[in-house]
Structure 1
Amino acid sequence: MVESRVQKSLMNAKVNLVFYFVFLCLSFFSRKIFLECLGADFIGLTGTLGNILSFLSLAEMGVGTAVGYTLYKPIQQKKYAEIDEIVSVFGYLYRKIGLFILTGAAIFSLFIPYIFRSSDFSLGVIYFAFFSILLSSLFSYFINYRQILLTSDQKGYIVTAYLQSAVFVKILLQMLLAWSFKNYYLWISIEILFSILSCIILNWKIDMEYPWLKVSVPKGRQVYSNHRDIIKTTKQVFVHRIASFLLNQSDQILIFAFASLKMVAYYGNYTLIATKIAQVFSTAIDSIGAGVGNLVAEGNKQRIIHVFWELMAVRFCIAGILVFGLYFTIEPFIVLWLGEQFLLDKIVLILLLVTIFIGQIRGPVDIYISAYGMYADTWAPITEAIINVTVTFIAAYYLGLSGILIGKIVSMLFIVVGWKPYYLFTSGFKVKLRSFWAGMARFYASFILSFLLVYLFKEKFLESLAVSSFTDWVVYSSIVCIPFVIIYLSALWLWAPGVKSLFLRILIILKLRK
């Protein structure tokens, strides 16, 4: 069982990494073309509309998370009839949620003329974009819901391979049409066309992968009462989803409210770079979530905690290198890529990097809380949301974009950094919290000392380095980042828990693959 879990995790990681590198290059080229041919306001408009629909998707209430958790054990035990029943219930619930989202979107659309009254776009363009994005979203609720089984069965690489291939072709076609015609309607129409195509391909593959799967919405309605535990977990997850949305999905809406559509696009340039670089690691690591769920289901406490520290070691390696590299290289890259006029204040970059760092290191805690199904702390996301909204609205009024990020950071410090580890260690692992902070102190110390050493070295000896081309940028990035990587990884090896065992695990896996 362990070997199978490792093999599936490796396959997920491999596929995710392949598509990451493909989309890394494509994203920067497409972003530049879209900004030049369609304008920053249009990119800001589509981003804002997407985030508004993400808010409506809160109606999903965490059903997917609850069902994914419920599927771990029957998948492990190969109880096909039970799996079929659970996915049918999932389809029934998703159908109801989809209808709710459709109704909410229709009501919201009545207010579009008032919300975007200062926009330079015609209502035709705004409505066409809104309902196109809505249609693409609704496919997940009415047709694609069966993909939950692929994810829970650690076969998310299948979803990635088919859907991302379609996205790749879609972006290429959008780039060509934007360059040739500079037409908003054509760009949006391609979104709809490829959403339909992706839907057809994905469901065909699910039928091939699970020929025994005979789910149906009517069946889900009939057996719904037998799975009340899903509803209980869903209600708990829903509250957590609200806080998650406010933290991760509301930035563009708030920037639009306190600044402008153009600023949404400018901020999006920074987040595009940061997220694309982070995805090379996080998509590979996140793909093991179902594997952790199976590990927890086996119940070996010592091994469960041991793997937790290995995952934390991976996350700190990613977070430290990512944040250091972005701090020194993102601004010269944006100047070369788009132009100096697209730079934001340095304080915005620093605050963004703080959110990225916390977002990376929270990963193992979130994965284990999900694997244990620990969502009963509904007060925590409510508190997080209150802190976030209160601080954001006060700070954003005076500081604009910086205030929005400050609100996010303050709420994360209280709940994500403080409460969540306590909850996992005391209620999940059932061990003393001091073991967590003893390990985390070593991770933090490794990063801070490494950062300061290389920062002082750079300020003293490398300040005069000029970056006037992408070749210069590569040389500059290498000179700055390589010393940090060496020092940082050495410090983690000497001090941090889980690093040495992780390295040995990687060596063993590489030997087995030869």
Structure 2
Amino acid sequence: MRTLNAIRNILTDLARHVLTILLGFISRTIFISILGVEYLGVNGLFTNIIMMLSLANLGIGTAIVYKLYKPLAEKDDDKVIALMNFYKTAFRIIGIIVFLLGMIIIPFLDILVKEDIPDLKLIYVLFVLNSALSYFLVYNRSLISADQKNYKLVWIDSSFQIILTILQIAVLVITKDFVLYLITQILITFIQRVVITIRVRSLYPLLKSKKKIKLTIKEKKELFKNTYAIMIYNISTAVINGTDNIVITIFFGLHYVGLYANYFLLIVSIGTVLGKVFKSLTASVGNLIATDTNNKSYEMFNLINFLYFWLIGLITCCFYILMNPFILLWLGEDFLLPQQVVLPIVISFFTSCMLGPTNMFRNAQGLFVFGKYVPLVESILNILFSVVLAQVIGLSGVFWGTILSRAITSMWYDPYIVHKKGLKKSLIPYYITMLKYAFTIITTIIIIQPLISNFDESNLTNFIFKMGICLIFINTIFYLLYRKTKEFIYIKQVFVKIYSGKLKQSM
């Protein structure tokens, strides 16, 4: 049943996020044509500031989901109720804290943003309000996530995403007002969260319980211990992910933030799909670790790592070769960044995403307290390197700074913790495998790029042809190199079972 639920979650999440991506590009095109690149820069800048203020929910969400795996498997309703009561109270406090922290930053906005943007402070307050309100309802979703049933919310998410996009487009076309655009987002998002809350409570009647069940002092201590470790980790991660636009704003202005925002939309759209798809596996991993042997967990890690490589390697190659041609077709030459800037953007995407399996097992194994200060060091190095390199080599230096700080810290330390403390296996095979994956991607790009370099990039037909060549050749190269590996053979067998309709009977 674990495999079936994981596959169902993957397919439903994939379908929803493909739709979300398409709607996002439609909305972004109209946004730029009506409001311009400077407002797009404001949107990107404030999104990053809110990301850091939110501090990735301080880690309580991850710690609670981890704690829910066992009581859900054992049908211990009282423990689930106690955890959800604690979660609800904690998230309401966090929502208030996020709002207050956001208000403190208002006097510094004029220092950060040099351009004359009407209603700048009101726009920022709306961003803060939207983030703060989310904490009062979003906690309900953690239960359905831990129970591997996210697919039951897909129709709600998809419907509201369509409604929101249509309404925001209508507001832009009719009023050309960014403030009303944001108010629309706040209202529709809030209604969506109310509907999701009602749906989750109908699926889990225990949430309607009036029992005042509380966690024991020992359980709270353990939870706070894990939360503190995740908090340090997530604060640092939020700083790492959120500083690029701030550094770009300070040294290069909102215009370049707006240009980068379009590349970031491409990356985050695909990254979100991958993240949601593989996040569906986290609960399965947690269940596996709780019920199966360590060797089985190690095999699962290698399998997921291989899946990440294939998908992310494919996307990385396509990004480097096709990203600028796509931006040229979509928005025009004025919105292009130089290829020397695209290179570190793509490398940063790859190095970040390939830590996904490590992060997944780190959370599923509950290894929150180990190396909790490593991301803090990484965030400090990221700011330092990005600021220095931005002044030395320009815009690309911002992204090279991020890559360099990651290479020195989390890129080697996080896998070390997962292998030593969780999987209890040697790290050397992992490093060899990752070097092999990286070499495969570099070689693939070197082979394919000359084949399509002479095509006219402003022609849609040629772009589609180039994309087809990329997809065929990249997958062919990967297949020829890895078709005999244990991971590929296993995946092939699973898909054969799905196709033949035998998967469910084999559970």
TM-score (norm 2): 0.93
1:450 to 1:243, Cα distance in 2 relative to 1, 3 A: same
**Counterpart check, 1:23 vs 2:20:** yes
Q: Residue 487 of structure 1 aligns to which amino acid in structure 2? A: I
Deviation at 1:129, TM superposition (A): 2.0
**Counterpart check, 1:214 vs 2:208:** yes
CA contact (8 A) 1:251 1:404 kept: yes
2 CA distance for matches of 1:198 and 1:107?
Answer: 29
Aligned residue runs from structure 1 range 435-454, under 5 A: 435-454=429-448
Show CA shifts across 1:82-127 (max 9, x none): 00001111111112222221221222223334443x33222xx223
Q: What secondary structure does 1:121 align onto?
A: coil
Q: Residue 461 of structure 2 aligns to which amino acid in structure 1? A: T
Deviation at 1:334, TM superposition (A): 0.9
Show CA shifts across 1:217-236 (max 9, x none): x9477867742211000111
CA contact (8 A) 2:48 2:241 kept: no
2 CA distance for matches of 1:187 and 1:363?
Answer: 34
Show CA shifts across 1:376-420 (max 9, x none): 212322222232122122112223321111111012112232111
**Counterpart check, 1:119 vs 2:109:** no
1:58 aligns to what?
55
2 CA distance for matches of 1:480 and 1:266?
Answer: 25
CA contact (8 A) 1:292 1:368 kept: yes
1:504 aligns to what?
493
2:354 aligns to what?
361
Q: Which moved more, 1:416-425 or 1:103-112?
A: 103-112
Q: Which moved more, 1:445-454 or 1:361-370?
A: 445-454
2 CA distance for matches of 1:186 and 1:268?
Answer: 21
Aligned residue runs from structure 1 range 272-311, under 5 A: 272-311=265-304
Deviation at 1:276, TM superposition (A): 2.1
Show CA shifts across 1:162-185 (max 9, x none): 234212211111112212321223
2 CA distance for matches of 1:479 and 1:435?
Answer: 32
Q: Which moved more, 1:86-95 or 1:15-24?
A: 15-24
**Counterpart check, 1:90 vs 2:81:** no
Q: What secondary structure does 1:250 align onto?
A: helix
Aligned residue runs from structure 1 range 374-453, under 5 A: 374-376=367-369, 377-453=371-447
1:144 aligns to what?
138
1 CA distance for matches of 2:182 and 2:430?
Answer: 48
CA contact (8 A) 2:9 2:277 kept: yes
**Counterpart check, 1:471 vs 2:461:** yes
1:100 to 1:480, Cα distance in 2 relative to 1, 3 A: closer
1:131 to 1:225, Cα distance in 2 relative to 1, 3 A: farther
**Counterpart check, 1:69 vs 2:38:** no
2 CA distance for matches of 1:365 and 1:487?
Answer: 25
**Counterpart check, 1:270 vs 2:263:** yes
CA contact (8 A) 2:95 2:136 kept: yes
Show CA shifts across 1:337-376 (max 9, x none): 1010111111110001101111221111110011111122
2:338 aligns to what?
345
Deviation at 1:210, TM superposition (A): 0.6
2 CA distance for matches of 1:359 and 1:73?
Answer: 30
Q: CA-atom RMSD, angstroms?
A: 2.2
Q: Which moved more, 1:106-115 or 1:390-399?
A: 106-115
2 CA distance for matches of 1:470 and 1:215?
Answer: 57
Q: Residue 9 of structure 1 aligns to which amino acid in structure 2? A: A
CA contact (8 A) 2:325 2:457 kept: yes
Deviation at 1:18, TM superposition (A): 1.3
Deviation at 1:208, TM superposition (A): 0.9
1:111 to 1:417, Cα distance in 2 relative to 1, 3 A: closer
Structure 2 residue aligned with 1:251, among 238, 244, 247?
Answer: 244
1:276 to 1:59, Cα distance in 2 relative to 1, 3 A: closer
1:441 to 1:52, Cα distance in 2 relative to 1, 3 A: closer
2 CA distance for matches of 1:449 and 1:294?
Answer: 38
CA contact (8 A) 1:293 1:371 kept: yes
1:78 to 1:100, Cα distance in 2 relative to 1, 3 A: same
Show CA shifts across 1:48-80 (max 9, x none): 112212211128321111111111111111101
CA contact (8 A) 1:318 1:360 kept: no
1:27 to 1:306, Cα distance in 2 relative to 1, 3 A: same
Q: Residue 121 of structure 2 aligns to which amino acid in structure 1? A: Y
Deviation at 1:270, TM superposition (A): 0.8
1:103 to 1:155, Cα distance in 2 relative to 1, 3 A: same
Q: What secondary structure does 2:315 align onto?
A: helix
Ranges in structure 1 where 5+ consecutive residues have no aligned partner? none
1:115 to 1:388, Cα distance in 2 relative to 1, 3 A: closer
1:346 to 1:154, Cα distance in 2 relative to 1, 3 A: same
Aligned residue runs from structure 1 range 485-500, under 5 A: 485-494=475-484, 496=485, 498-500=487-489
2:106 aligns to what?
109
1:463 to 1:185, Cα distance in 2 relative to 1, 3 A: closer
1:424 to 1:453, Cα distance in 2 relative to 1, 3 A: same
**Counterpart check, 1:184 vs 2:174:** no
1:404 to 1:224, Cα distance in 2 relative to 1, 3 A: farther
1:176 to 1:506, Cα distance in 2 relative to 1, 3 A: same
1 CA distance for matches of 2:42 and 2:483?
Answer: 46
Q: What secondary structure does 1:142 align onto?
A: coil
2 CA distance for matches of 1:140 and 1:224?
Answer: 28
CA contact (8 A) 2:285 2:364 kept: yes
Show CA shifts across 1:136-173 (max 9, x none): 21233223322111111112233443234212211111
Q: Which moved more, 1:53-62 or 1:288-297?
A: 53-62
* Aligned length in residues: 502
Q: Which moved more, 1:154-163 or 1:66-75?
A: 154-163
Show CA shifts across 1:18-55 (max 9, x none): 11221222222211110010111112112211221221
